Every structure is written in C-alpha cells, then in structure tokens.
Amino acid sequence: MKPVLARRLNRLPPYLFAEIDRVKRALVAEGKDIIDLGVGDPDLPTPPNIVEALYRAARDPSNQKYALDYGMDELRAAIAAWYDRRFGVELDPDSEILPLIGSKEGIGHIPLAFIDPGDTALVPDPAYPVYNGGTIFAGGEPFRIPLLEKNGFIPDLAAIPAGAAAKAKLIFLNYPNNPTAATCGIDFFERLVDFARKNGIIVCHDAAYTELAFDGYRPPSFLQAEGAVEVGIEFHSLSKTYNMTGWRLGFAVGNADILKGLSTVKSNIDSGIFGAVQIAGVEALTGPQNYVDEHNRIYRERRDALVDGLNAMGWKVEKPKATFYVWAPVPDGYTSASLAKTLLERAAIVATPGSGLGSHGEGYIRFALTRSKERIREAVERMARIL
C-alpha cells in the first residue's frame, strides 16, 4: 500500500534548510571541503556553566519524569527577572510566561489555537519558513506582506489591503529580522499595536535575535510598546543567545489569554521540557552574561571580515547592526538560486538563496556568520576566484 499524504502537506514548499542539509551531506560524502554559511546554527559552544548545570540536574531522578506543560516555577521566575532586567518589562510568571520546546515549536503551534480553516495569517516575505508552514498546518491561508529594501525591510502596515487585514487572525513579525538582519524601533512596534487593535489581530513577534547586536545597538522588545501586552505575545529563545540550538528551550511571553490558547494546544501534543534542560535554562538566564558579549564580539569580527571582503569585490553590502546574518544583493547576471548553486558547485560554499525564503527574497542571498573568521576569509577568497 502506498500512503496518501494529507492535502495540507502538498501545500507546503520543500523545507529549505532540510534540502540545503541534504545537498551539503552529499558533497561532504564526495570529499568536498564545505564552508557552510547556510543554516543559522551557532558553531560556538554552550557556556560551560550551563553544561555543568545540565549535568548535575540530569543525575537527579526527580528531573527524569514527565515535566509540567507550563514549566517549572524556577524557570518562569528566571524568565520574568530576565525580561525585567533586559527590557524593563514586568511579567506575571504564573500567567504571562509559557516555556516552550524551542521557540520554533511555539511559533508552529500558535496557529492551531487561533486559526480555523479558511482564516488568514499575515506573514512577512521573505521570512523564517515556520510562519507560513504553521498557518498551513492549521488550515489557514498565509497572506504575504512584502519586506522591501526601500522601507528598510519593515512592512508598510498601511499598504495591507483592508480586506486582508479584516480577515486576518494573526500577524507574524520578527525583529531583529531573519533573513534580512533589519532592525526596527519602538515607533514601529507602537504602529503595530494600533494596527492590531484596529483590526482585531493577534501579534506574534519572534524576538530570537535581540541579544545578537553590535556597535552599541540594543534591540527593543515588542512588549516595550504601550499596549503591546493587550494585543500580542513575543517568542524568545535561548538557542542563539547562549548557543543552545540543540537543547530546544524557548518561551512565549505577553497576553495571558493568548498564551492560554497556546498552552491548550501544547498540553494535547507534548509533555513539557526535560527538567534538566529547564534547570540549565535557569542557569543561562541568571548566571554570568559575559559570554553573550564575547560571542557578539566574535560575530562582529566575522561580520566585518565577510562584508569588507564582499565590498572589496565590488558588492554593495551594509554591515548589519544585529543577528548573525548578512543579507547581500546578488551581483548582476545571477538570480538568488543560480548564485547559491554556483557558490556550492564551484566554491563549496553553502549559502541560502533569498528566493527560498519568499518571493520578495529574490535578488538576495543570505550568509550566516556561523563559521570562524578564518573560514569566512577563505570563503571570500573562493568567491573572488569564481565571481
């Protein structure tokens, strides 16, 4: 018997990063020396105090049982203290914080709580693919809102058709932005709150990159905007801040009723976060934070090596103020896909074609700063030889 896939799966595009990983593994098997600047998976290690906290907690039998869906009291208290210290935002640990098995899990599940078949979610283009995929899994229709360079890769909320805004249940946004590395200020978040109130839309802000910033820039939280907690929630992750991508630990914060909907979905699908990982998360949030500054220094050096190298070749690339991505316009004569293919086949460099992240990503390519400065310089040298 050949199984018949559900129609919702046929509506999904191939998951870009899975395909990139497949091609990369094939080239490695051929003996190619790959420089992988594709997927945003930090190469820097998790700080040792966090690893030690996990080790101690994993040996405790009380942490080897099912975990509560809404997380340990200690973790929610640590998240509340971190938000207050970092953003000046006060949160109720009992109702305004929901730990997640990585922020991707929460982003993918939130449409199941609020999207019925035929409903719409406003999804940026280009964007992290999970906003689109989660909407489709819930039976909804993504309505693409373009992120254009002329607008600083910030959506023009006033340009969203009234009919699309009226039908929408959710809007997904993400600043500092993946893939464009764009940033925004509180003024945009305040306009977003007004837009959400006017149209009865839930804001889902993905803030995974607020702690990866350079040159004195400190990204704000959506929840710092007046009235934000009335209309939305913010997703955060320990993956990028503390190099914990494989640990799968994140959280959503903000509106209690929205979080209650997400919690209901989770309680019927998962069984909570491994207790030892939660305790390690407490250590990450409450322990020494000097690692974050050190990692940002390393990423800044890598950014400068890549951007300076590309510009010396005649590209026109601005240095991003945040994230570990460089969003570069492709040279004349290439599409996003053809440049990515050329880099892979002729220089053994993995990069992400912008078109794979949305139609408005065409004309750009994304490099992740997740390899050493020396390897990035080598990548620039390889590009200079073939382009």
Identify whether residues 196 and 324 lie together within a single domain: no
Domain end, chosen from 286, 315, 350, is at 286
The total domain count for the chain is 2
DSSP labels, 158-188: GGS-HHHHHHEEEEEE-SS-TTT-----HHH
Of 38, 46, 17, 73, the residue nearest 238 (C-alpha):
46
Of 267, 325, 294, the residue nearest 126 (C-alpha):
325
| Residue 281: other Cβ atoms inside 10 A | 28
Cβ contacts of 63 within 8 Å, gap of 6 or more: 57, 274, 275, 276, 279
Contact between residue 236 and residue 208 where contact means Cβ atoms under 8 Å apart = yes
Question: Digits of tens for pLDDT over the chain (387 positions)?
Answer: 889 888 888 888 776 667 677 777 888 888 889 999 998 899 999 999 999 999 999 999 999 998 877 899 999 999 999 999 999 999 999 999 999 999 999 999 999 999 999 999 999 999 999 999 999 999 999 999 999 999 999 999 999 999 999 999 999 999 999 999 999 999 999 999 999 999 999 999 999 999 999 999 999 999 999 999 999 999 999 999 999 999 999 999 999 999 999 999 999 999 899 999 999 999 999 999 999 999 999 999 999 999 999 999 999 999 999 999 999 999 999 999 999 989 998 999 999 999 999 999 999 999 999 999 999 999 999 999 998
Residue 225 sits at φ, ψ, to 5 deg, of: -75, 140
Integer angstrom CA distances of residue 252 from 50, 110, 203, 262, 338: 21, 10, 12, 9, 38
d(CA 122, CA 132): 9
Contact between residue 384 and residue 346 where contact means Cβ atoms under 8 Å apart = no
Query: What token pair was written down for 104?
Result: 């991707």
Query: What token pair was written down for 102?
Result: 């990585």
Q: For the domain that residue 111 is a member of, what is the CATH number?
A: 3.40.640.10
In a domain, 322, yes or no: yes
DSSP labels, 129-144: THHHHHHHHTT-EEEE
Contact between residue 209 and residue 323 where contact means Cβ atoms under 8 Å apart = yes
In a domain, 174, yes or no: yes
d(CA 335, CA 348): 18
CA-based R_g, the chain, Å: 21
Identify whether residues 145 and 216 lie together within a single domain: yes
In a domain, 71, yes or no: yes
Within a 13 Å sphere around the CA of 38, how many CA atoms are in the beta-carbon half?
Answer: 25
Identify whether residues 119 and 168 lie together within a single domain: yes
Identify whether residues 138 and 53 lie together within a single domain: yes
Q: For the domain that residue 345 is a member of, what is the CATH number?
A: 3.90.1150.10
Domain coverage including residue 166? 48-286
Query: What token pair was written down for 249?
Result: 């630990």
Domain end, chosen from 253, 286, 319, is at 286
Identify whether residues 12 and 113 lie together within a single domain: no
Strand 141-146 relative to strand 120-125: parallel, antiparallel, unpaired? Answer: parallel
